[in-house]
Every structure is written in C-alpha cells, then in structure tokens.
Amino acid sequence: MGMTVAEKILAAHLVEGEMVKGEEIAIRIDRTLTQDATGTMAYLEFEAIGIPRVKTESSVCYVDHNLIQADFKNADDHLFLRSIARKYGLFFSPPGNGISHQINLERFGLPGKTLLGSDSHTPTGGGMGMLAIGAGGLDVAMSMAGKPFYLVMPKIFGIKLTGTLQPWVSARDVLLELLRQLSVKGGVGYIMEYFGPGVKELSVTDRASITNFGAELGATTSVFPSDENTKQFLESQGRADGWVELVADDDARYDEVIEIDMSTLEPMIACPSSPDNVVKVSEVAGKPVAQVLVGSCSNSSLRDLMVVAKTLEDRKVSPEVSFEINPGSRQVLENLAAGGDMLTLIHAGARIHQAGCLGCIGMGQAPPTNTISLRTFPRNFPARSGTKNDQVYLCSPEVAVAAAVTGKITDPRDLGDYPSFTLPEKYLPGDSRIEPPLADGSDVEIIRGPNIAPFPKFAPPPETWEGSVLLKTGDNITTDHIMPAGAQILPLRSNIPAISEFVFSQIDTDFVRRAKETEAGMVVGGVNYGQGSSREHAALAPRYLGVQIKLVKSFARIHKANLINFGILPLTFVDEADYDLVEQGAKVVIPELRKELAGGSEIINVEINGNTIAARLDVSDRHRQILLAGGLLNWAKNL
C-alpha cells in the first residue's frame, strides 16, 4: 500500500517503534525553533541537560513575542537568549526581525525535514512539505540535545481540495470552513494532509496560512505536498537547492477524507470567542467595528499585506477604525517598501508596527471596551486580547481591509473588483539581522538578568497520594485560562515563582492562595482540557504550586505531554458522568499510586469524599517511568 506525505516523512525519521496508529513512536528531529515567550524556559531546561552544543541540523532562537520593553524584564531576556544562541550554536533572530513561523518559511524551511517548535503554530512549516510539530519547551530542549521526539502515531485525515478560490476569498477561508465543519476538537489524534487538484492553485504562503491556522483543529500537525509551487517559492527565496519533490503515492490511503470545493467558498469569519464559531461574513455584516488588525503568524506574508495595500490604493481607512499592520518579517517590510505599497498603507491611514506577534499574544493592541475587533489572527479566546469581555472576530486580510474601509463588518465582495498584484520573482532576503551560529561558543558568558530564576526541582510522587480538589472547571479550558498571556504576565516567563502567581487568574482569583495552603492538589476539568497555545508554563506553574493530578474528560495533545514532562498525572474519567460527583474542595486519596504506575495499571481508582471513581491513565511505559521520576528532566538524568 502506498504512503501519504506525512507517512513518508515519519518513515524516513523513525528511530523507535512501528508506525501503527495509536502506538508510541519516536522520530529524529532535524530542526528546532523557539520563540522568546517559551524559549527562555526551554533554554534553562537545555542548560540543565548539560551538553556543550545543540545537535540538530539547525536550531533557531527567535524573539518575536515579548517585544514591548516597558521595563528591564523583556530586554534582559533578549540578552539572555542572544548569549544562549552564541554559546550553544544556534541561529539568533533579534527583536523586530519578525515572527518565527514567517521567517522560518522564508529562510530555513525545507520540504521533507522534521521541525519541532516550542509554539503551537509551528505547523506553518507544513505549507512547504515539512513535518512541523508544536511541542512544549522541554521536548524541544531534548531534541536540541539530540534526543528523539516521542508521539503517538497519528491517523491521517485527508483534505481533498478541488476548484479554485474566487475573488475576495482566500486560503484563510478554507481553514475557517474546516473549523466550521470539524470544530476545535476535530483534528485531535490526526495529521491533516492536503491533496487533490486544488492544491496546485495555492501558493506556499497560502498553504502556510492553512497549516498554521490548522493548529486550532487540535491536530498533531498539517502538511501539504512539495511540488512545483514549492520549488517556485524556494527559487524566489534564493534557496532552490533545498527543494525535493514529495507527494503522496497514488494508492495512499487516508483514515478519514473530507472534500472542499474551493470554488464554492464564501468569505468566512469566526465570531467570539472560539476559532470554530464560524459563519459566513454576510450573516454578520453591518456590525460596527472599532479596531482591525492584520498580521500574526497566520496572515502576515507579503501576499497578505499586498492584498491590503492594493485594496487601499484609492480608499481611506474609516475614521472610526484603528487599522493596524503587524508585518511578518523584515523581508516582508523590505519588499513592501520596495514595491511602493508601504506608502499606500501610510497614506490610507494604517498604523504600521514592528514585525512581530504583538496583539495576537496580548502584547499591546488591546481593543476598546464593548467594541468589535477584527483580526487575521489564529485565536480569539476570551480576554486573550487584553480586554475583558472582548469581542474578537477572526477573518482573512480581505475581510479585514473591507471592515477598515467601511467601519463595519463587510463582505469584501461588496467593494467591487478584486485588486490585481504580482509577487516578486526574487525577494529581497531581509535576513541581514539573523545572526549565524558561532563556530565555537565555549567562551561565551550567559547573561542573566534578575528576572531569570533557576529551574525548579520536583520530587517523585509518594506511595499513596493525598490531596484535595483545588479547582473544578468546564469544557474547552485553554492554556490562556490556565496561564494567561498579556503584557503584564508574559515578561515573567523565565521566573516560575513570579508567574505562578497568575495561574487560573482568569477563572478563580483565589486559586493561588488555596494552592499555597495545600501540600498537594488536583484540578478537575471537562472536554478538550488544555487546548490552544503550547505554553508549558500552563503545566509548569501549576506544578510549582503543588498541582500533581489532573482529572478531566479529555486532554489536548500538547498540554497532556507537558503535564507528563513535569510529573503531573493526566487522568481521564472512565465514565464522564462521574464528573458530576466531584466537588471543589473535596478530599482525594489515590492508594498505592507508585505501585499502580510501575505495574502498568490503566485504570486508577481515585477516592473522592468517600466515592471511588475509576480514572484512566492512557500513557506509554516510557511516560510511566517519567511520572515515577517526577518529570522528564529527573528521568533523563537517571538514564
């Protein structure tokens, strides 16, 4: 039987296990990326491993999240990251140079390679035929140390594309339609692979927009074939020598298949406050808009900003709208300026910001109270924007610029003819600020500001676990709920004692006090617990506060892996009806926990206020050893 693109890459990198769906495998990682919000902790973890230099083909340290230097914290972290890159042999992309995923596409991505990134939108690389996976920082640190990456062999979900996108409809609308049909849980356990005659109609940046936004399906990753369009993109970047053809075999089989006729799609929009709350733009047209943001890792390419600029050539931004542009990279800025489109944006009334993530992670650009903000971003979880009770809609650049002009949500087809534009055959590279690895960094001194705290140490679990239910949550709890982002909290990413003061602050402002008063705690949750960002702080900070057990209806993939990495037991209800029997504050006992872990027990009996609830521990034998050791670092040191 033939193989899919994803299966071919997995097979070429397999180092442990067999490619049987649902079984744990380990793959070799060619390349890694980190961004500063997760990277500071990832490098503290890498240092704890104790090797002198990264062992990957290439690893890149990006600064793209914590760009606002309101005090010393972010600036200190930037110096720390630069010195880390110099000492351990990484490329370094400094603040203002651009978003990790956009730059990786332009300057580092190659088809057929594996990429592990400490950011959930790492699958952007799948747009050029990479197997690019988001993970926690500790997993990335282990990969930089030359260790394999472990994952459960996913099923392959085939997305057959046919037809051609119509004017004012973009690749963004393909994924919005998928989210509408499948929801934020629809890709859990799958790699989403795109095939069919419609694929050739999409450029690499179109494809990257889809694979980036595909993280919101909960998928392991998303991937496109590497074809003539991929070759053309690499040629435009001066990197044609890295191209290889990589397509699915004619007799490849997918575990699930869904077909999307792109010619039938209309402009779509995700309403507050979930990426899968999707409707046609025409259904919500007319609502007044106060803010429109174009950028983020989903839609900040030259193509995206040229669409906006060409639409604005004979138009002005509404005086009622703050219209803001976050370019994806310095390359995008250079080429936009060289083509004259930057002047168009300025004349039309756009606010041009530095190349970076900014408002997508809550680092500035918060919308006004009780107003609508349209964003080409991948997430609109509640209060992620920085404004309580926000009303954030997610859309394409076409829908965004239409709203900027009219001051209300507008079907862009109402603007008339679609603007024409041509992307350059050869891009200005825009990479002069990227610092290559030193041949020998052994003499480099690591710069550590006062906000960089040592990595905490965690003890193994006791023979019998006793504690209490510190918090009971509902469904679809995101990592933003657990460990919020924003300009106040993000600068504390390298200081676990400080950032732990904000754990669950969006849900229960009393959580931290209760946790500190309890030696051991459990959190109970609903379906899809831990969806969203890969931030391992959503596991690490609760663990620092004494959370050692999480009992939920189901977990998001990356968060479950992060819990195991820091020694938190990830349990799920055998009978979801038992969720109703658990009350916050209840006393909990798990008899002979270490014996159950070591013996391979899948069903763990949890005693809660006299009731015995059956919980499932769905982990590998390796995971059990990690949990018994109290976390991945403890386990690795004992090897």
Set 379, 543, 559, 624: catalytic member: 379
Domain assignment present for 410? yes
Instruction: Give the pLDDT score at 44.
Output: 92
Computed over every residue of the chain, the mean pLDDT equals: 95
| Domain range for 13 | 5-264
Do 282 and 390 share a domain, yes or no? yes
Distance CA 523, CA 543 (A): 11
What is the model's pTM? Answer: 0.93
Distance CA 73, CA 474 (A): 34
Q: For position 296, which CATH number holds? A: 3.30.499.10
The structure tokens 């658990």 sit at 582
Domain assignment present for 565? yes
H-helix segments, 270-340: 281-284, 302-311, 330-338
Q: How confident is the model at residue 636 (pLDDT cuts 50, 70, 90)?
A: confident
Prior bond to 322 cis, omega within 30?
no
pLDDT in tens, 193-234: 999 999 999 999 999 999 999 999 999 999 999 999 999 999
Domain assignment present for 419? no
Q: Which of these three, 209, 239, 264, is where a domain ends? A: 264
Do 163 and 140 share a domain, yes or no? yes
Tokens for 467? 């504690």
Do 597 and 615 share a domain, yes or no? yes
101 included as an active-site residue: no
pLDDT in tens, 553-601: 999 999 999 999 999 999 999 999 999 999 999 999 999 999 999 999 9
Distance CA 78, CA 550 (A): 34
Do 94 and 191 share a domain, yes or no? yes
Strands 603-608 and 587-590 turn out to be antiparallel
Q: What is the mean pLDDT of residues 390-414?
A: 98
379 included as an active-site residue: yes
Do 254 and 291 share a domain, yes or no? no
Distance CA 550, CA 394 (A): 31
Is residue 460 within 8 Å of residue 567, measured between CB atoms? yes
Q: Which of these three, 264, 295, 330, is where a domain ends? A: 264
Domain assignment present for 356? yes
Is residue 586 within 8 Å of residue 609, measured between CB atoms? yes
Is residue 504 within 8 Å of residue 482, measured between CB atoms? yes
Q: Reduce the DSSP state of residue 355 to 3 states and report it.
A: strand
- The alpha carbon of 195 is separated from its chain's Cα centroid by a whole number of angstroms, namely 23
Instruction: Give the pLDDT score at 487.
Output: 81
pLDDT in tens, 247-288: 999 999 999 999 999 999 999 999 999 999 999 999 999 999
Range of lowest pLDDT (167-181, 231-245, 486-500): 486-500
Domain assignment present for 436? no
Instruction: Give the pLDDT score at 15.
Output: 98
Set 375, 481, 535, 537: catalytic member: 535
Domain assignment present for 43? yes
Do 625 and 527 share a domain, yes or no? yes
Q: For position 536, which CATH number holds? A: 3.20.19.10
End-to-end CA distance of the chain: 38
Q: Which of these three, 264, 298, 331, is where a domain ends? A: 264
Domain assignment present for 443? no
Set 31, 65, 330, 623: catalytic member: 65
64 included as an active-site residue: yes
Q: List, as one string, the DSSP characters of 497-527.
A: HHHGGGTTTTT-TTHHHHHHT-SSEEEE--T
H-helix segments, 486-591: 496-499, 511-516, 537-544, 557-565
Distance CA 81, CA 78 (A): 5
Q: What does the chain come to in residues?
A: 639
Strand partners, 94: none
Set 222, 533, 534, 554: catalytic member: 533
Instruction: Give the pLDDT score at 639.
Output: 65
Do 388 and 501 share a domain, yes or no? no
Do 405 and 489 share a domain, yes or no? no
Domain count, the chain: 3
Q: List, as one string, the DSSP characters of 89-154.
A: T-EEE-TTBB-HHHHIIIII--TT-EEEESSTTGGGGGGGT-EEEE--HHHHHHHHTTPPEEEE--
Helix crossing, 302-311 with 330-338: angle to 10°?
40
Do 120 and 26 share a domain, yes or no? yes
481 included as an active-site residue: no
Do 70 and 113 share a domain, yes or no? yes
Do 81 and 193 share a domain, yes or no? yes
Distance CA 275, CA 389 (A): 16
Set 36, 64, 173, 206: catalytic member: 64
533 included as an active-site residue: yes
Is residue 35 within 8 Å of residue 64, measured between CB atoms? yes
Domain assignment present for 617? yes
Q: Is the pLDDT of residue 632 over 90?
A: yes
Question: Vertex 475, ends 297 and 573: CA angle to 5°?
Answer: 120
What share of the chain in percent tops pLDDT 70?
Answer: 100
Q: How many CB atoms lie within 10 A of CB 457?
A: 10
pLDDT in tens, 508-551: 999 999 999 998 999 999 999 999 888 899 999 999 999 999 99
Distance CA 102, CA 104 (A): 5
Handedness of CA 289, 295, 297, 302 (dihedral sign): positive
Do 308 and 387 share a domain, yes or no? yes
Q: What is the mean pLDDT of residues 83-112?
A: 97
Distance CA 349, CA 324 (A): 9
